Amino acid sequence: MPGPVIDDARVAPGHDGEAVLVVQVRHENGGVDSVTLDADCARRLLENCDAQVASDLRGKPWQHLLDVLPR
C-alpha cells in the first residue's frame, strides 16, 4: 500500500542565515505537511533517494525522510 510521498522540496533561508530544505509531504488523504531539513539532513536524504537535485525527490516515499530526521 503506498504511503505518504514527498510532493515538493525547495530551498529557503533558515533563521540562522543558513540555507535549509523545506520538504513537503502529501498524505494519502490529500493532507500536506512540511518538514525543514538542515544541510546535513538534506544531503543524507538526497543520497538515500539517489537524487541529484531537490526536484528528484518528488514522488519518493516519506520513509526516506523519516530515516534522516534527528531522533
Partner 1 sequence: MLDILIRNGRIVDGTGLPAFHGDIGIQGGRLARVGGQLTGPARHEIDACGQVVAPGFIDPHTHFDAQLMWDAQARPALEHGVTTVVNGNCSLSLAPLRAEHRPKLVSMFQQIEEMPDAAFDGAFAWEWESFADYVAALRGRVALNVAPLAGHSPLRMWVMGGAEAQKRAATPDEIRAMQDLLRDCLEAGAVGLSTSYVDMDENLFPVPSRFAHFEEIDALAAVLGEYGRMLQVVPEFYNTDITLARVDQLAELSLRHGIPTTFSPLFDSAVMPENVSRVLDRVGEQFQRGARVWPQVQTRPIDISFNLEVASLFFIALPAWYLTLRMPRDRKLAALGDPGTRQGLIDAAEPGGDTQRFAHLRVRDSRDASLIGRNLGEIAKERSTTPAAALIDLSLDEDLGVHFLSANMGHEDPSRIGPLIANDLVHVGASDAGAHIQSFATYGDTGYLFSEFVRKGHHLSLEHAVRKITGETAQIWGIPDRGLLRSGMAADVVVFDPETIARGDERPAHDMPENGMRYVREARGVDTVIVNGELTWSAKGGYTDARPGVVANA
What whole-number distance in Å separates Cα of residue 67 and Cα of residue 48? Answer: 9
Q: Per rule CB under 8 A, is residue 71 in the interface with partner 1?
A: no
Confirm if 22 and 5 have CB atoms less than 8 A apart: no
Among 3, 19, 59, 66, binds partner 1 (CB under 8 A): 19
* Contacts to partner 1 from residues 24-63, by CB under 8 A: 33-36, 39, 42-43, 46, 52-54
What whole-number distance in Å separates Cα of residue 24 and Cα of residue 34? Answer: 4
Where do contacts with partner 1 occur on this chain (CB under 8 A)?
10-22, 33-36, 39, 42-43, 46, 52-54
